[in-house]
A = this chain, B = another copy of it.
Amino acid sequence: MSPGIPFQVDSRSPTPIYDQIVTLVTFAVAAGRLARGEALPSVRQLAVSLRVNPNTVARAYRELERDGIVETRQGSGTFVAGGDRRLSAAGRRKALAPSVDRLCAEASALGISPDDLADLVREAAGKLSSGDRA
């Protein structure tokens, strides 16, 4: 997972941290950036790297397992599960829609035009994808 997902988490967000982790992993699998059978970082590793309580990571992994996204093999670690969870380009756009809508509502309230907002987003996303972090 290290060389893939810009894995960062916002502890001040109202979205629970474990939920942010679930979303990011789910999305990474949907995008094929985490391949079938690939190992996820250990609970402790990821907890350290995200500066988060290990319980929180453990809970995220538990939910991912419940969703069939990952599998835990006792004593060996957590791995991306077997079934194909990749989404088409359209499916991935659809998965992102609620977040997009929420941002647009805020931008609209702030009086930021669609074009200006698109520019802001392109710029921020560009910065992210150059300087990734696991």
User: Chain A residues in contact with chain B, CB under 8 A?
Assistant: 5-6, 8, 10, 13-16, 19, 23-25, 27-28, 30-33, 66, 92-93, 95-126, 128-129, 132
Contacts and interface: CB of A to CB of B under 8 A. Distances in A.
A78 to B, nearest CB: 17
Contact of A13 (B8, B10, B102): B102
Contacts of A30: 110
Secondary structure at the A interface, as helix, strand, loop or mixed, is helix
B117 A121 contact: yes
Contact of A118 (B15, B16, B111, B125): B125
Copies of this chain, tallied across the complex: 4
B96 A106 contact: yes
A6 B129 contact: no
B31 A110 contact: yes
Given A19-B14, A114-B125, A125-B114, A120 B100 contact: yes
Nearest to A55: B55
A6 B108 CA distance: 7
Pick the most buried of A28, A100, A113: most chain B CB atoms within 10 A of its CB. Answer: A100
Nearest to A10: B102
Nearest to A86: B111
A62 to B, nearest CB: 10
Contacts of A108: 5-6, 125, 128-129, 132
